[in-house]
């Protein structure tokens, strides 16, 4: 819905999800999206049933090709321990279902192996495993027009961390060359390499501004409490995501180590970092590179209202999403 409202053409939208509602499967059959990445044999059967009455859908099969990328377990979406993708044992059944339902157009094979991956070799391993899968589907009579290696291209998030940035252009060029040569070697038709970059495109476009509410020097640590936290950015609490934070209010004293945290009733830490010693209540802090997976993950945890989103370009600004009020949070209460 967000993409559609932004004017994105439906043919260019691919719908993903480890589980999909009937409403989403219907959307794939009535042209509201260009392609559906089917993530299970039962889902494929449901799609076949829903599309039978004169509808069509373009289908990619999201496979679990067993690539276990080196990243946090919560954002690893391949390998034997993942809920994502069609298990190899179900590939033949998936091919039979597609062949028996010509209203479902098979577009090709897909595997997204996770997020914040900095290792080119994981993408090459994925591309190679997908070409092997395309060969299996070709032997079942289904030609893959696309081989899609997903996204997850790592961007730096923490100035003190080990990671820099994955060279996306070099990685994609290497994966494309691999797909081309492996497909030719195996006698497959020409397949297009597909990628789904998310964070690598949008992360740096966003900055979150926090107002400091309190600075508390406790026995072991100094805590800086801000007017946000897990409600509008659950990533640090969920899987230890780290961010670069700087003081916006000019401060010149030397830095000290602090723990940034929200104001929830848990220890909702946003990270340990260095900030100028005189940072105090009322100061503004900027958390950088929050353009991806921050506002879209924000909720009303602990019944806090969501913050506003403001777009800035060429010296002007525009409100993109208004700040929620308490009335917004209460609007669905039935009593
Ligand atoms: C199927 C799929 N493709 C691509 C992405 C983009 O990942 P990233 O933003 O890490 O590049 C995601 C993220 O969840 C995804 O689920």
Residue 222 in any domain: the answer is yes
Structure tokens at 102: 């010509």
Tens digit of pLDDT for each residue in 165-181? 889 999 999 999 999 99
What pLDDT is recorded for position 60? 98
What pLDDT is recorded for position 2? 86
Of 167, 56, 65, 37, the residue nearest 102 (C-alpha)? 56
> Which of 63, 166, 196, 297 to probe ligand 1 with, by most ligand atoms within 8 A of CB?
196
User: Which backbone phi and psi does 222 adopt, to 5 degrees?
Assistant: -100, 125
Residues 35 and 159 in one domain: yes
User: Which backbone phi and psi does 211 adopt, to 5 degrees?
Assistant: -100, 130
Q: Which residues are catalytic?
A: 265
Alpha carbon separation from 135 to 99, 115, 186 (Å, rounded): 16, 27, 7
4 Cβ contact list (under 8 Å, min separation 6) = 10, 13, 32
What pLDDT is recorded for position 225? 98
Record the pTM: 0.91
Task: Select from 154, 171, 202 the last residue of a domain.
Answer: 202
Question: Is 194 touching ligand 1 by the criterion CB < 6 Å?
Answer: no
- Mean of pLDDT values over 3-22: 93
Residue with the larger pLDDT of the pair 157 and 203:
203
What pLDDT is recorded for position 162? 65
Question: Is 152 touching ligand 1 by the criterion CB < 6 Å?
Answer: yes
What pLDDT is recorded for position 71? 67
Domain that holds residue 299: 206-330
Residues 197 and 219 in one domain: no
Residue 134 in any domain: the answer is yes
CATH number at residue 243: 2.40.37.10
- Mean of pLDDT values over 267-271: 93
Residue with the larger pLDDT of the pair 74 and 243:
243
Alpha carbon separation from 222 to 189, 215, 217, 226 (Å, rounded): 61, 7, 4, 13
Give the integer Cα–Cα distance in Å for 232 and 270. 11
Residues 91 and 61 in one domain: yes
Residue 116 in any domain: the answer is yes
pLDDT at 191 over 80: yes
pLDDT at 72 over 80: no
Task: Select from 202, 230, 265 the last residue of a domain.
Answer: 202
Question: Is 84 touching ligand 1 by the criterion CB < 6 Å?
Answer: no
User: How far does the centroid of ligand 1 lie from the alpha carbon of residue 252, in Å?
Assistant: 39
Residue 119 in any domain: the answer is yes
Residues 168 and 299 in one domain: no
Residues 58 and 161 in one domain: yes
Residue 183 in any domain: the answer is yes
Residues in the chain: 335
Residues 272 and 320 in one domain: yes
Give the integer Cα–Cα distance in Å for 250 and 261. 21
Q: Which atom of ligand 1 is nearest to the CA of 62?
A: 1
- Mean of pLDDT values over 191-205: 94
User: How far does the centroid of ligand 1 lie from the alpha carbon of residue 75, in Å?
Assistant: 9
Residues 128 and 247 in one domain: no
Residue 335 in any domain: the answer is no
Residues 270 and 143 in one domain: no
What pLDDT is recorded for position 175? 97
Strand partners, 274: 257
SS3 labels along the chain: CHHHHCCCCHHHCEECCCCCCHHHHHHHHCCCCCEEEECCHHHHHHHHHHHCCCCCEEEEEEECCCCCCCCCHHHECCCCCCCCCECHHHHHHHHHHHHHCCCEEEEEEECCCECCECCHHHHHHHHHHHHHHHHHHHHCCCCCCEEECCCCECCCCCCCCCCCCCCHHHHHHHHHHHHHHHHHHCCCCCCEEECCCCHHHHHHHCEEEEEEEEEEECCCCEEEEECCCCCCCCHHHHHCCCCCEEECCCCCCCEEEEEEECCCCCCCEEEEEEEECCCCCCCEEEEECCCCCCHHHCCCHHHCCCCCEEEEECCEEEEEECCCCHHHHHCCCCC
Q: Which atom of ligand 1 is nearest to the CA of 77?
A: 16
pLDDT at 327 over 70: yes
What pLDDT is recorded for position 68? 79
pLDDT at 252 over 90: no
Task: Select from 202, 236, 266 the last residue of a domain.
Answer: 202
CATH number at residue 186: 3.20.20.10
- Kindly report the protein residue whose alpha carbon is nearest to atom 7 of ligand 1: 152
Q: Which atom of ligand 1 is nearest to the CA of 196?
A: 4
How does strand 255-261 pair with strand 269-276? antiparallel
Structure tokens at 81: 């321990």
- Between CA 25 and CA 81, with CA 47 as vertex, the angle to 5 degrees is 85
Tens digit of pLDDT for each residue in 274-325? 999 999 999 999 999 999 999 999 999 999 999 999 999 999 999 999 999 9
User: How far does the centroid of ligand 1 lie from the alpha carbon of residue 191, in Å?
Assistant: 21
- Mean of pLDDT values over 62-66: 93
What pLDDT is recorded for position 73? 67
Residues 325 and 219 in one domain: yes
Integer distance in angstroms from the first to the last C-alpha of the chain?
Answer: 29
> Which of 152, 154, 199 to probe ligand 1 with, by most ligand atoms within 8 A of CB?
152
What is the sign of the dihedral through the CA atoms of 77, 80, 81 and 87?
positive
User: How far does the centroid of ligand 1 lie from the alpha carbon of residue 240, in Å?
Assistant: 18
> Which of 3, 15, 16 to probe ligand 1 with, by most ligand atoms within 8 A of CB?
16
Residues 87 and 218 in one domain: no
Domain count, the chain: 2
Residues 121 and 160 in one domain: yes
Residues 10 and 47 in one domain: yes
Residue 13 in any domain: the answer is yes
User: How far does the centroid of ligand 1 lie from the alpha carbon of residue 298, in Å?
Assistant: 17
């Amino acid at each position: 819905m967000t993409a559609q409202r932004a004017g994105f053409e439906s043919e260019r939208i691919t719908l993903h999800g480890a589980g999909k509602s009937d409403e989403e499967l219907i959307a794939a059959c009535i042209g509201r999206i260009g392609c559906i990445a089917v993530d299970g044999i039962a889902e494929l059967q449901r799609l076949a049933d829903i599309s039978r009455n004169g509808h069509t859908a373009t289908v990619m099969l999201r496979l679990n090709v067993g690539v276990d990328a080196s990243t946090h377990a919560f954002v690893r979406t391949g390998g034997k321990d993942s809920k994502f993708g069609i298990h190899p044992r179900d590939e033949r059944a998936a091919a039979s279902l597609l062949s028996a339902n010509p209203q479902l157009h098979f577009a090709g094979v897909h595997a997204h192996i996770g997020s914040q991956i900095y290792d080119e070799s994981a993408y090459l391993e994925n591309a190679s495993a997908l070409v092997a899968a395309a060969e299996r589907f070709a032997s079942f009579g289904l030609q893959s027009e696309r081989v899609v290696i997903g996204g997850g291209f790592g961007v730096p998030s923490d100035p003190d961390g080990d990671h820099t940035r994955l060279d996306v252009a070099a990685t994609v060029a290497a994966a494309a060359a691999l797909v081309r040569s492996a497909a030719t070697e195996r006698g497959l038709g020409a397949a297009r390499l597909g990628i789904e970059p998310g964070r690598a495109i949008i992360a740096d476009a966003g900055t979150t501004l926090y107002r400091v509410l309190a600075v508390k020097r406790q026995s072991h640590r100094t805590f800086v409490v801000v007017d946000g936290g897990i409600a509008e950015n659950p990533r640090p609490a969920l899987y230890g995501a780290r961010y670069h934070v700087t003081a916006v209010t000019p401060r010149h004293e030397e830095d000290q180590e602090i723990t940034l945290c929200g104001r929830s009733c848990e220890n909702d830490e946003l990270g340990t970092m260095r900030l100028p010693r005189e940072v105090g209540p009322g100061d503004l802090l900027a958390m950088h590179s929050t353009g991806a997976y921050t506002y879209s993950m924000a909720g009303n945890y602990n019944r806090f209202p969501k913050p506003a989103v403001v777009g800035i370009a060429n010296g002007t600004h525009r409100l993109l999403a208004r700040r929620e009020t308490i009335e917004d949070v209460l609007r669905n209460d039935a009593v």
